[in-house]
């Protein structure tokens, strides 16, 4: 199975400041034939299921604010919240869907400083 490792485990950011979350896969999730990274990011708030934010590593899901952006390729990926809002307090997960089983990172908890 592909192992997904997120860092940091948690971070506290001031309102309006940038938050950066990293995700590393144990093998490349880039499918060379179509040049797509099979990597997604989710946001999960307490008591709710995960919400898809980003797929193909950098494509924002419909309705997701543009302060959320994804980048990276191969094995190293980043989720950036450009200007943290109070409603962004949550746990964020990366997921690879390159090979079965789709595996998730351990999560990064984002809080307000």
Contact region with other proteins (CB under 8 A), list: 11-19, 20-28, 69-77, 94-102: 94-102
Is position 102 an interface residue for other proteins (rule: CB under 8 A)?
yes
Contact region with other proteins (CB under 8 A), list: 12-20, 44-52, 64-72, 76-84: 44-52
With CB under 8 A, what is the number of residues at the site for other proteins?
Answer: 28
Contact region with other proteins (CB under 8 A), list: 10-18, 27-35, 67-75, 81-89: 27-35
Is position 46 an interface residue for other proteins (rule: CB under 8 A)?
no
- The 3-class secondary structure across the chain, one letter per residue, is CCCEEEECCEEEECCCCCEEEEEEECCCCEECCCCEECEEEEEECCCCCCEEEEECCCEECCCCCCCEEEEEECCEEEEEECCCCHHHCEEEEEEECCCCCCEECCCEEEEEC
């Amino acid at each position: 199975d592909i192992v997904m490792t997120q860092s940091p485990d948690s971070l506290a950011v001031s309102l309006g400041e940038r938050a950066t979350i990293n995700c590393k896969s144990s093998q490349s999730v880039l499918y060379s034939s179509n040049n797509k990274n099979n990597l997604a990011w989710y946001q999960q708030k307490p008591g709710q299921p995960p919400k898809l934010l980003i797929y193909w590593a950098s494509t924002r899901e419909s309705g997701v604010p543009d302060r959320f952006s994804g980048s990276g390729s191969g094995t190293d990926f980043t989720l950036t919240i450009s200007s943290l809002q109070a409603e962004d307090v949550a746990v964020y997960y990366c997921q690879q869907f390159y090979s079965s089983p789709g595996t998730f990172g351990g999560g990064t908890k984002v809080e307000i400083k």
